[in-house]
Amino acid sequence: MPGRLAPALWGLAALFVLAAALEALVRWGALPKLVVAAPSDTVAAIWRLAAEEGLLRALGATLLTALGAVAAAVIAGLPAGYWLYKHPRFGLAYRNWLGALFAAPLVLVYPVVLVLFGRTYVSTGFMGFIVGFIAVVLYTREGLAAVPATLVRVGRAFNLTPEQEFWKILLPAGTPMIFTGIRLGTIYALVNIIGVEFLINFGGLGFVVSEAYDKFDIPGMYGAIVFVILVSGGMLWVLKRMQLWLRPA
Amino acid sequence: MTRWGTHKIRLLTLAGLFALWEALGRTGLIFGEALPPISAIAAAAFNELAGLAFYHHLAVTLGEVAGGFVFGVIPGVACGLVLGARRVLGAAADPYIAALATTPKIVFLPVVMLAVGIGPGSKVALGAISAFFPVVIATVAGMRAIPAVFVRVGRAFNLGRGQMVRMVYLPALALPLVTGLRLGLGVCIIGVLLGEIKLAKAGLGFLANDYYAQYNFAELYAIVAIIFALAAFANAAMSRLVRRAEAHR
Amino acid sequence: MTVGKMLLFASILAAAAAGSAIAEEKIKVAIGQRQVWDSQVIPLGVEAGIFKKHGLEIDITWTAGGAETLQAALTGSVDYALTNGVEGVLAAYAKGAPVRIIGSEMRGAGDIYWYVKADSPIKTLKDAEGKTMSFSRPGSSSNLTAQQLAAKAGVTVKLVSTGGMPVTRTQLVSGQIDIAWAAVPFALDAIKKGEFRIVARGSDLANLNDVSIRVNVTTAAFLKDRAKAAQAFSRAYKESVDWMYANLDKSAEYWAKLTKITPELAKDGIAFYPKERLVPWPISGLDHSIAEAVKAKRLEKPLTPEQIKELVVEIK
């Protein structure tokens, strides 16, 4: 693995060059101003959105919605995954279904969710919850099923109760995969939530993007998009750090 | 654990769910008009499939998905090969690709419109952008996982670049690549459908949105069910590919 | 000249003559809101052969009705963008977009109405003190209309943004809101059956009936490069509106089939749109719209007379 500094610097340099090229193209009129914003305007717009249009409040709204969705997904998903593990007949029966659901265009059900829960954070959160839940259930079951049989037998030999077996053997051994499920669930939940916010023009960050678009505030729209990319990147970084902390590999 | 046992569970689960749905739909409890009974949805689906108009929309969507998939996979694999092989370049690009991957691609619709107009091309482009990221990420991961000894053996035999790709890289990449393709197809379908909802004159997403605007929930669910069935079929085909790639290891 | 060459020359001439007679100019349009009556001008005009008569072949792309309609014209993907909210067009123009308003698409808010459940105690808005009244999205015409209707009735209502019509209807039925908004022909069948009742209409705001709320636009480049086609388009559009109202049976049937309602219900819906609301010229109440746009901060300052002259183009 090369030193961490060099690639990061190269990446930033490339970004800088691309931004400069884009700036030039827009300023010279080669790209229409009302469709592509100059990077300088975009950065300025992020500032303006934060100061005047409640960008940070929107960020808070989206993150809280995602947090709620993931929390619900974990609270419902862990026991469900555990139950599927304990009842292998059902686990095997539903495994392919869950896999297929995970890959399915679940976001398409948003009109129905909208009609059920209204145009509220419950709807956007629910959209995140669905994908998060499936990810957690899938990976929890897989993670627990992958716990080496010897460990389980050791537990039996010590006459552990199911609770003890879960907390002392299954959970620690299954944590890497379970956490991967939580991590994937979080990412997918966040993507879905922002996407639905954009589609229904309501909520946090996704709404800021669609609102700017509707007002023809093109620098604002790109500013919000860049902000979304930064937030996604930040969230990924945090999750990666958490996984490393949980299981220094 | 017999296969019949698994089938029994699945059949019973489906029967139970359908019965509950039919009951809720007929009585209008909880969801009111938003949940028509399964019988109504089945009838609507039958009507759709029996009519000619549906197949036009189906063809449009399939074409856009196919186009998006091809235009996303080829650059994805190409970039993945390069970024996976070159350590500094790969490490530099990593954070940007990861952050962009978690951004909902629907927010790029205005940019897409600028580049390729508002026809099917815009849906193809959204599908391609969506498919690109899982593919490139999986390819890079696969490249990095290739044991160095394989590469050294290839070099020892003085294999040219093309031969290296054909005889060393691609076979070793088979499994990660196909896994990436499977994810890529899933998000490609989502990208195309969302694009059709926002801006189109034909396609399954367009059709679903039309029914929603008319408050025709039975038809809406029917289209969504058909879309899910198609996605599941595509996913199953991809799973078959994954299993074959696994066997080749 | 040999016989062969003469024949060749003659056939080329014939082909050219036949070509110019057959070839229609292709115009691409983006239209939002596929279901509403005022969006049917072009489809009906095409059905009735009016655009063909003027030598035009129209290619329609439907949008979800948002800014992407205008954006499609700005990116050059389409030649005309129809059904744009006038304030959005003003905002785009002020930001330097080369848009030109060439027609009024809809005057007034007569296509919007507010309805309640049949058993609701609200008979008119005067009974709606303290109740929840919905609109689609902040800044939308349903928002502004709701505000003005409540003010006119002298009541203070709780204005709630509920989004699209399907969602709004369900929220009304489940009791989350008291008064739902809708645009023709949504829920008209249920209203006719007695499930719901209309308590207010956008046309109650008489002063708004003379304001062009939605306008049709094209780009400056199109007007310059394809002036003849633009002329043909404007003429065909006007003729299509005339045809729609002169042939109500046929146009109602077409619209009924599209929206999956009965022709009778379609005619009830068309009653919400007196012909003068759809006549494409002049652009009515522009000063009012500019003032509203400034109030809503979509315009920094009012447009100057020179700007208005550049923006609004009459094509005869």
pLDDT in tens, A61-110: 999 999 999 999 999 999 999 999 989 888 888 888 888 888 888 888 88
Q: In what order do the strands lie in the sheet with C99-107?
A: B199-200, C56-63, C25-32, C80-85, C212-219, C99-107
Residue C169: count other Cβ atoms within 10 Å of its Cβ.
26
CA atoms of C128 and C131, how far apart (whole Å): 5
Q: Kindly list the distances between the CA atom of residue C135 and the CA atoms of C43, C141, C147, C162, C181, in Å, as whole numbers in the listed order.
A: 28, 9, 9, 6, 6
**Nearest CA among A75, C110, C170 for reference residue B217:** C170
**DSSP-derived pairing of the beta strands C180-183 and C112-117:** antiparallel
Pick from A71-80, A224-233, B62-71, C38-47: least confident: A224-233
pLDDT over 70 at C19, yes or no: no
Higher pLDDT, C255 or A115: C255
SS3 labels along chain B: CCHHHHHHHHHHHHHHHHHHHHHHHHHCCCCHHHCCCHHHHHHHHHHHHHCCHHHHHHHHHHHHHHHHHHHHHHHHHHHHHHHHHCHHHHHHHHHHHHHHHCCCHHHHHHHHHHHHCCCHHHHHHHHHHHHHHHHHHHHHHHHHHCCHHHHHHHHHCCCCHHHHHHHHHHHHHHHHHHHHHHHHHHHHHHHHHHHHHHEECCCHHHHHHHHHHCCCHHHHHHHHHHHHHHHHHHHHHHHHHHHHHHHHC
Q: Do B216 and C260 touch (CB under 8 A)?
A: yes
Q: Cβ A225–B189 below 8 Å, yes or no?
A: no
pLDDT at res. A114? 84
Please give the Cα distance from C122 to A213 (Å, whole number): 37
Mean pLDDT of chain C: 89
Cα separation, C188 vs C196, whole angstroms: 9
What is the pLDDT at residue C75?
A: 80
Chain C residues within an 8 Å CB radius of B114: 75
Would you say residue C8 has pLDDT above 70? no
Radius of gyration of chain C (CA): 22
Higher-confidence residue: B239 or B60?
B60
- Shortest CA distance to B204 belongs to which of B49, B29, B22, B19? B49
pLDDT of residue B28: 75
Query: For the ranges A193-197, C6-10, C310-314, which has the lowest average pLDDT?
Result: C6-10
CA B80 to chain A, closest CA, distance in angstroms equals 16
Q: A115: which chain C residues are within 8 Å (Cβ-Cβ)?
A: 166-167, 170
- Hunting for tokens 């009109």 — which residue is that? A111
Q: What is the pLDDT of residues C98-122, one digit of tens each?
A: 999 999 999 999 999 999 999 999 9
Alpha-carbon distance C139 to A217, whole Å? 15
Handedness of CA C50, C56, C59, C60 (dihedral sign): negative
Token readout for A105 is 């265009």
Question: How far is the C-alpha of B104 from the C-alpha of B102, rounded, in Å?
Answer: 6
Angstrom distance (rounded) from CA C68 to CA C90? 15
What is the average pLDDT across A32-37?
A: 76
The pLDDT assigned to A63 comes to 93
What pLDDT does residue C134 have? 94
Residue C235, token pair as written in the block: 């003429």
Nearest to A38 by CA among A204, A219, A164, A210: A219
Residue B247's pLDDT is what? 72
The per-residue pLDDT for C300 is 86
CA–CA dist B136, B140 (Å, integer):
6
**C-alpha torsion sign, points A96, A99, A105, A109:** positive
Q: Which residue has the higher pLDDT, C104 or B98?
A: C104
Kind of pairing between the strands at C132-135 and C158-161: parallel
| Phi and psi angles of residue B180, each rounded to the nearest 5 degrees, phi first | -65, -40
Chains that touch A (3 or more CB pairs under 8 A): B, C
Helix (H, G, I), strand (E, B) or coil at C128: coil
For range C199-220, the mean pLDDT? 92
DSSP single-letter state for residue C148: H
Q: Tell me if B43 sits within 8 A of B53, measured CB to CB.
A: no
Please report how many Cα atoms fall inside a 13 Å half-sphere around the Cα of residue B85, on the Cβ side: 14
Using the Cβ of B94 and the Cβ atoms of chain A, whether some distance falls under 8 Å is answered with yes
How many angstroms away from the CA of C291 is the closest CA of chain A? 17
* pLDDT tens profile B67-77: 999 999 999 99
Q: How far is CA C219 from CA A86, B118, C60, C104, in A?
A: 66, 16, 17, 15
Which residues from chain A sit within 8 angstroms of residue C97, using beta carbons? 34, 216
CA C307 – CA C302 distance, rounded (Å): 10
CB C201 within 8 A of CB C112: yes
Mean pLDDT of the B176-196 span: 89
Question: Which of the residues B193, B214, B220 would you substitute to probe the C interface, choosing the one with the greatest number of C C-beta atoms within 10 Å?
Answer: B214
Nearest Cα residue in chain C from B117 = C77
* Average pLDDT of chain B, as a whole number: 86
| Per-residue pLDDT at C16 | 57
Determine whether the interchain pair C68/B110 forms a contact, defined as Cβ–Cβ distance below 8 Å: yes
Q: What is the pLDDT of residue C17?
A: 53
Q: What share of chain C is helix, strand, coil (3-state, %, to 5)?
A: 50, 20, 30
Q: A170 phi and psi, to 5 degrees?
A: -60, -55
* Chain C contact for A27 (CB, 8 A cutoff): no
Grouping H, G, I as helix, E, B as strand and the rest as coil, residue C102 is: strand
Alpha helices in chain A (DSSP H): 5-27, 39-52, 55-86, 88-103, 110-117, 121-145, 149-157, 162-164, 171-200, 205-214, 218-246
Across the interface, whether the CB atoms of B96 and A15 are under 8 A apart is answered yes
Rounded CA separation C41/C236 (Å): 10
pLDDT at A3 over 80: no
What tokens does A194 get?
């922002």
- Name the token pair of A98: 């869950």
**B-C contacts at Cβ under 8 angstroms:** 63
Nearest to A210, CA basis, from C67, B187, C71: C67
**Assigned token pair, B82:** 């390069």
Q: Which of the residues B215, B217, B219 would you substitute to probe the C interface, choosing the one with the greatest number of C C-beta atoms within 10 Å?
A: B215
Nearest to B102 among A88, A107, A236 (CB): A236
B182 touches chain A (CB under 8 A): yes
> With b meaning 16 or more CB within 10 Å and e meaning fewer, what string describes C125-150?
beebeebbbbbbbebbbbbbbbebbb
- What is the least distance, in Å, from the CA of A199 to any CA of chain B? 8
H/E stretch holding C220 reads helix C220-225
Q: Is the model more confident about B30 or about B90?
A: B90
Say whether the peptide bond before residue C282 is cis (omega within 30 degrees of 0).
yes
For residue C23, the 8-state DSSP code is P
Q: Residues in chain B whose beta carbon is closer than 8 A to a beta carbon of chain C?
A: 32-34, 109-110, 113-114, 117-119, 197-201, 206, 209-210, 212-216
Contacts of B110 in chain C (CB under 8 A): 68, 71
Q: What ipTM was predicted for this assembly? A: 0.79
- pLDDT at res. C216: 96
CA distance C233 to C55: 9
User: Per-residue confidence at C14, pLDDT binned at 50, 70, 90?
Assistant: low
Closest partner residue to A216 (CB to CB) among C88, C171, C176 is C88
pLDDT (0 to 100) of residue C303: 93
Could you read off the pLDDT of C238-254 as tens digits, one per residue?
999 999 999 999 999 99
Tokens of A15: 């970004």
Q: What is the pLDDT of residue B6?
A: 81
